[in-house]
Amino acid sequence: MPQLTARQFSPGAIIAVLAVSGMGVSLMHTLLVPLLSDLPGLLNSSSDDVSWVVTATLLAAAVATPTLSRLADMYGKQRIMLVCLGLLLAGSILGALSDSLMLIIVARALQGASSALIPIGISIMRDELPAEKLSAAVALMSATLGVGAAMGMPLAGIIYGTLGWHAVFWVSGLFAILMAIAIVFVVRESEIRTGGSFDYVGAILLSGALTSLLLGISKGGSWGWTSQQTLMTFGISAVIFALWAPWEFQTKQPLVDLRISLKRPVLMTNISAVLMGFAMYANMLSTLQMLEIPTVTGYGHGLTPLEAGLVMIPTSLTMVVLAPISASVTRKFGAKVTLITGALVMAFGYILRVFMHDTVTLIMVAAVIVAAGTAVSYAAMPILIMGSVPETETAAANGLNTLLRSVGASVSSAAVASILSITTLTVAGQSLPSLAAFQQIFVIAAGASLVGALVAMAIPKQMHLELEPIDPALVEELTHKHEAIK
């Protein structure tokens, strides 16, 4: 395959294209969430079966991210970004032309796999941008994982309410085409490569372990947490992880370099990533459902998916605005302080959410505060990661961090669904989540945020704030090595 090149564009244009692409692929995590209550009727399926349209997306994102990120380090970041958008386009076309639940699930899995574009975009920023632009650009790109998830719900609600549910897929397909064209012409291929051979055994083992783990987490609520199916998936996951870890330590070119991943700065940042991913997703899911629950419950507001989507727009805008601003905080105080601050803001927002639910405005304000903390904390993570890993491992290391945020989101989705199904009230013969269920979610999410802040405090103080620009001599040396290996 010939190398795709780009014309010389300004750093601002490169940042814009990468950030918009990142927001677009992360939209896939929540794109069909506003439709979940209507999809059983639209697809002639049960609510439990329809939940797979979300589960498949999260599973595919978790499995594809480490694999595609490693391939990007080896074979070219621009090239693999285009592969991600190709997967998004294929899933969008399949979903737009289908009325079968099985095909929609496959389509959603293809869309979810495109999430690997975000860590690859962060890596290419490090390779191509000048040092003075790098911190703000990386902060924005990292935050797109949360920004896109926040935007997915209002956007899907608006499209569904005006154009129908198939239009949601057509819009995402059009986006994939436009972003692929923009990347070809604006983002040039990076010359930083790792070379060598791909760790197929590690990729297969990790994919199997993650699939089993996230399947158990996602379906445990409906299967029963102590059911044979759930326990079996967790057991299989544990066995595969037990095989995978030694393999990664002994192989010469591992899919995930566990020696680097176990370094204290990287390890603490990744643990925080799981907790922040949990708290972020809880905010999105709980807000939407609280707004749409009927008013007869005494606390719900009975909004349509379109109206609820419009109410959630400020959370998306808040994350877009605060991501680059957090880079200024990072430059002045360090990425560790930025991560701790973001986590504490999230915890404060959730504490407010326990009490602020009487009006739509109060719900929106509290959700915006949580979103602000999410943007700040997400923006700091790749700075901490890249300060501790070699240039040739940037995409893979950030891919693992993104993966762990997705794991946190999956756990959050399962926890929210479980709590809302257990703590209920009966209104006119219908079982609906009670206010206490949402308050439990907010308390748990606040706890996750606080623990995330405590973990971040364990990150060594000597983490460097500014990322060093890539040494041109290193680029030349690595390029020669790559050509020799080929």
Establish if 320 belongs to a structural domain.
Answer: yes
Report d(CA 461, CA 69) in Å as an integer: 28
Establish if 5 belongs to a structural domain.
Answer: no
Whether residue 481 has pLDDT greater than 80 = no
Q: What is the dihedral of CA 314, 319, 320, 324, to 10 degrees?
A: 150
- Of 248, 194, 202, nearest to 485 (Cα)? 194
Alpha helices, DSSP H, located in 356-393: 360-386
| pLDDT band per the 50, 70, 90 thresholds, residue 464 | very low
Rounded average pLDDT over 78-96: 94
Establish if 228 belongs to a structural domain.
Answer: yes
Same domain, 241 and 259: no
Same domain, 60 and 206: no
pLDDT tens for 216-261 read 887 787 788 889 999 999 999 999 999 999 998 888 888 888 888 8
Establish if 445 belongs to a structural domain.
Answer: yes
pLDDT recorded at residue 235: 95
Establish if 133 belongs to a structural domain.
Answer: yes
Alpha helices, DSSP H, located in 198-301: 200-223, 228-250, 258-261, 264-292
CATH number assigned to the domain comprising residue 175: 1.20.1250.20
Q: Which residue has the higher pLDDT, 95 or 407?
A: 95
Which of 174-183, 329-338, 464-473 has the weakest average pLDDT?
464-473
- CB–CB of 114/85 below 8 Å? yes
Same domain, 324 and 358: yes
The pTM (predicted TM-score) of the whole model is 0.79
Which of 92-96, 105-109, 196-200, 217-221 has the weakest average pLDDT?
217-221
pLDDT recorded at residue 476: 53
Rounded average pLDDT over 457-484: 55
pLDDT tens for 45-58 read 877 778 788 878 88
Same domain, 373 and 279: yes
DSSP-derived letter for residue 301 is -
| pLDDT band per the 50, 70, 90 thresholds, residue 478 | very low
Q: What is the DSSP string of 417-440?
A: HHHHHHSEEEETTEEEE-HHHHHH
Same domain, 430 and 461: yes
Which of 3-7, 106-110, 368-372 has the weakest average pLDDT?
3-7
pLDDT tens for 310-334 read 888 888 788 778 877 777 777 788 8
Establish if 3 belongs to a structural domain.
Answer: no
pLDDT recorded at residue 480: 52
Whether residue 192 has pLDDT greater than 80 = no
Same domain, 204 and 270: no
Which of 30-39, 164-173, 250-259, 271-280 has the weakest average pLDDT?
30-39
Which domain does 245 fall in, by range?
Answer: 199-252
**Average pLDDT over the chain, rounded to an integer:** 83
Establish if 22 belongs to a structural domain.
Answer: yes
Which of 39-48, 279-288, 343-352, 390-399 has the weakest average pLDDT?
390-399
Which of 11-15, 191-195, 293-297 has the weakest average pLDDT?
191-195
Report d(CA 323, CA 379) in Å as an integer: 6
Report d(CA 184, CA 388) in Å as an integer: 30
Same domain, 230 and 309: no
Q: Which residues does residue 432 pair with via DSSP β-bridges, in sequence order?
A: 425
Establish if 365 belongs to a structural domain.
Answer: yes
Same domain, 154 and 173: yes
- CB–CB of 96/32 below 8 Å? no
| pLDDT band per the 50, 70, 90 thresholds, residue 475 | very low
Whether residue 470 has pLDDT greater than 80 = no
Same domain, 215 and 327: no
Rounded average pLDDT over 34-38: 76
Whether residue 466 has pLDDT greater than 70 = no
Last residue within a domain, chosen from 208, 226, 252: 252
| pLDDT band per the 50, 70, 90 thresholds, residue 369 | very high
Same domain, 35 and 90: yes
- CB–CB of 213/234 below 8 Å? yes
Same domain, 388 and 247: no
Tally of domains within the chain: 2
| pLDDT band per the 50, 70, 90 thresholds, residue 483 | low
pLDDT recorded at residue 484: 52
Same domain, 166 and 225: no
Last residue within a domain, chosen from 252, 285, 314: 252
Whether residue 435 has pLDDT greater than 80 = yes
Highest averaged pLDDT of the listed ranges 191-205, 336-350, 457-471? 336-350
% residues pLDDT > 70 (the chain): 93
% residues pLDDT > 90 (the chain): 28
DSSP-derived letter for residue 115 is G
Whether residue 107 has pLDDT greater than 90 = yes
